[in-house]
Structure 1
Amino acid sequence: MRAARTAGARTAAARTAAARTAGAALVCALVAGLTTSCTGSAGDRPAIVVTTNILGDVTRNVVGDQADVTVLMKANADPHSFGVSARQAAEIEQADLVVYNGLGLEENVLRHVDAAESSGVPTVAVGERTDPLPYASGGTKGEPDPHFWTDPQRVEAAAELLGEEVAKHVDGVDKKAVKAHAAAYGKKLDGLHSWMRKRFGEIPEEERNLVTNHHVFGYLAERYHFRVIGAVIPSGTTLASPSAADLESLSSAIEKARTPAIFVDSSQPDRLAKVLKEESDLEVRVIPLFSESLTPKGEGAATYLQMMRANTKAIADGLKTLKNP
C-alpha cells in the first residue's frame, strides 16, 4: 500500500513538473512576441526595421528573401504623426539595421531611432543621403524637405544606398544577392522615371502648376519642371494649420495661375481644400493623391511603383485646362 502511494506521489509530482515546464514554454513563446526569446536568441534570420511604409517597400525590394523586414507605419497613416507601440520600440532596439527617412519626417518615432543608435544599432537616414532639397516657400522655407520619394531618381539612389548599407551592417545576408536585387529594382525605378517624364511632357509647361494640401511635391516639381503655386497648409508638415491670410493669398495665386485642381493627400481630410474652393468661388477640382503613404493591397497604391504611376496619371489628368475638363 505504501509503495502504491509513493508511486502515485511520484506520478503526481512528475505531472506537476511537466505542467510547469509547459507553462513556462507558453510564457516564453508569448514574451518572445514582444521582446526576445527566453533563450536570448531572436531567431536565425537577420531583422531590419523600417519606419515608413514607402521606405519599407523599397527596402523589401532591395533585401528580397535575405532578411525579415518589419515596417512600423501602417497603410494610410501619416508619417508626421504616427507613433509606435512598446513592442515596436523593442523591435527597433533589437534590429540588425534600422532604416528611416530622417530630415524630421517621423516626428514621433525619431527618439526611438536615436535611442537605438546610441545603444549601438546601425541606422541609416535615407533622406539625408539622397541630395535633399530645401523647402522653397511657406513656414518651413529653407529647411530640408524630407519628401524625397516624389522623385523616382532619388529613390533609385536610395535603393543603391540601402543595398550597400545592408551588405555592410547585416550579417548573414548574401551580399551578391542583395546587390542583384538593388540593381533589378533600380531598373524598374529608371523605367518609372522615363514613363513619368513622357507623361508629364504631354502637359504644356505653362500648365504645370501644383497646389497641394501641404508642401510635399518639391522634388517632383524640381525633376519634372513644375511650379508649386502654393499649399493650403503652407508648411512641410500636416501638423501645421493655415491662417485666413494664408488662404486668401493662396486663392489669389490660384486665380492668377488659372490652376484647375487642388491635390490633397488621400490619407488627409480635404476639408480645408474644399473650404478654399467654396470661399473663393474658384472653379477647381479637389483631387486625392497618394503622397505620403502606401495603401493596403487592392486600394490603388500598395507599392511605391503603383503609387507613383497613380499620382502621375491623377496630376496629368487633373491639370487639363478648364476648356477640356
Structure 2
Amino acid sequence: MPSLLSFRRAAGFLATACTLAASHVQAQDLLNQLETQTTDSLRREYVTATFKGTRVINGHSIETPGKGSMLFLISHRFGTLNSGAYEFFGLDQATIRLGLEYGLNDQLAVGIGRSSLEKTYDGFVKYKALRQSSGPRPMPVSVTLLATTAVSTLKFQPEPERSTTSRFTYSYQALLARKFSSNLSVQLMPTLIHRNYVDLRRDENNVYAIGAAGRQKLTKRLALTAEYYYLLPGNTADDYRNSLALGFDIETGGHVFQLHFTNSQGMIEKFFVPQTTGNFFDGDIYFGFNISRAFQLRSQE
C-alpha cells in the first residue's frame, strides 16, 4: 500500500497544478479584459437621437431619415387662439403641409412637400457633415447642412401675373446641435433666406436670422421642445416678428407626434422666418401638430 508520505506528495502536486491552472485562467481573463478596454477606448462612439424627429417644431433638426427610409410627414396649423368663439378659437381654420423625405444614405436626404398656404411646393437637400462623437478625435457637436427651395403657385389677382422666376424663394441653414445628456439637446441655426421677389422696394431680398432650439426629455415618451428665430436688424425685422414656438414630442411606437403653439402660420422657412406677423403674447397663437411615419423601402446593409 502506498505510504502516507507518497499520498501527501501527490496531493501537494495536485494542489499546485490546480493553483497554476487557476492563475493561468485569471491571467487570461485579465488579459481579455485589458484587450476589451483597449479596443473600446480606441472605438469612436457616435451620438444618436439628438432629436426624435427631422423637425424640431417649424424648422428642421439635424436628424435625417436612415438609409432607404421614407418619411411621410403631415404638418397642420389651425387658426389663432384669439380669433374668438365664432371661429371656435381657430379650429374652424386650417393650413396644412404634406411632405415626403427619403434617406439616400445615412448622411444625405432629400425631400419634397406641398403647403396649402399660397399653394406652395418645396424641396430640400439635407447633409450630415459632422456627427457628435466620443473616443479618438471626439467631435463635440453635430453639423447638418440644409438647402431648400420653394415656389408659390398662387394666382395673384388683380395684379399682373408674376413670372415663374419671381415666385422662387431659397433658404440655406447650418444646423449645429449638441446632445448634452440623454435628456437635453440644444441646436443653433444660422439662416439665410433669399427671395427673388419682394412686394415693396424697401423690402430685403436677403434676410438673415439666427435660430435656437432645444429639447428637454420629461418622461420616457414625452419631451418639451422650444424654437425661436431672431431676425437680424433690417427692414424685414422692423416689419415682421420673430418666430416663437413651444411644443411637446410624444413617441408612440413608429410615430412621432408633435403638438405645438406658435405665432407662425407657415411651416417652411419661406414663411416662418421672414413673414411671421403674429404676436405670441397678444394671443396670435396657432395651435398645430406634426405627425410622421417612417417606411423602410430598402434594407440597410
TM-score greater than 0.5 by the shorter chain: no
Tell which structure's C-alpha radius of gyration is larger: 2
